[in-house]
Amino acid sequence: MNEEEREEGSPVGRRVVLGMLGLGVAGVAVGASVQDRVSRALAPVGPVGDVLPAAGGFRYYSVTGSVKRRDAATHRVTVGGLVDKPQAFAMADLARLPQTRLERDFQCVTGWRVPDVEWVGVALPDLLDAVGVSPKARAVTFTSFDEVYTESLTLEQARRRDVLVATQMEGRPVTHDHGGPTRLYVAPMYGYKSLKWLGGINLTEELVPGYWENRGYDVHAWVGRSNGRDDAPT
């Protein structure tokens, strides 16, 4: 895991979730060690825009205990729903589409941030053009092969060129821990939109809120302008 810190089951920070539920920490059966780790992880959080001083880097997040690895050779991303030509994209198919490179900060809603992360992949609008979006479609749902996590975007958001089906991170294939072989990367939004272990993309009429959105987080997760952070000091 190297510099990464495992925080299984604490995807956006337990304290934030507890706060939202109005529960005290004592009211939840959480092992002391887990609690300590989370507190430490959250301790350096400053106003939005601060860079974490800690050895930093990504924290590993998964709402499920362990996720079955997918071999890049057999992995497919299926695109279906309200499209003209549903298709299961192999890595080689994705590689044949135009490649987009982005270098952006990665920011979790709890406050940790990794500056200047390089991503390469297929911009979602290019993938959508490849299958042809039906005029009825208004939103996009993303499913993870962890079989639990989901995310969604409006069609307008999904057509942004800074939203990727990422296949590379920091110059290498996206690792399993970071959601490889394919992960969603939504540059302008908080990390929870960037669904890991992307297996399915579905065009829908209505927007279906994702995993954390069903637990109180904003569907439109613009960095600095959502989740009660609109008035955050700069």
Residues of this chain that interact with ligand MTE (CB under 6 A) are: 11-12, 58-63, 108, 144, 146, 149, 178-179, 191-192, 194-197
Q: Which residues contact 151 (CB under 8 A, 6 or more apart)?
A: 141, 142, 184, 192, 193, 194, 195, 210, 211
The smaller minimum CB distance to ligand MTE, of residues 108 and 130, is found at 108
Identify the residue among 89, 149, 192, 211 touching Mo ion (CB under 5 A): 192
Q: Would you say 8 or 205 has its CB closer to ligand MTE?
A: 8
Cβ of residue 127: shortest distance to ligand MTE, in angstroms? 19
Q: Considering beta carbons, is residue 122 or 169 the nearer one to ligand MTE? A: 169
Give the Cα separation of 137 and 202 in Å (integer): 10
Q: Which two tokens stand for residue 157?
A: 């958001």
Tokens (6 digits) for 194: 């960037």
Helix intervals (H) in the chain: 14-21, 32-42, 91-96, 124-131, 155-158
SS (H, E, C) 148-183: CCEEEEEHHHHCCCCEEEEEEECCEECCCCCCCCCE
Residues 6+ apart with CB under 8 A from 37: 5, 7
In the bound complex, which residue of the shown chain has the CB atom lying closest to Mo ion? Answer: 108
Which of 7, 81 has the CB closer to ligand MTE?
7
Q: Which stretch in 5-13, 65-73, 180-188, 214-222 sits in contact with Mo ion by CB under 5 A?
A: 5-13
Query: Out of 191, 194, 213, 221, which residue is the one contacting Mo ion (CB under 5 A)?
Result: 191
From the CB of 126, what's the least distance to Mo ion, in Å? Answer: 26
Backbone angles phi, psi at 14, to 5 degrees: -60, -35
Residue at shortest CB range from ligand MTE:
191
Residue owning tokens 């970071």: 178
> Smallest distance from the beta carbon of 226 to ligand MTE, in angstroms?
13
Q: Which CB, 75 or 133, lies closer to ligand MTE?
A: 75
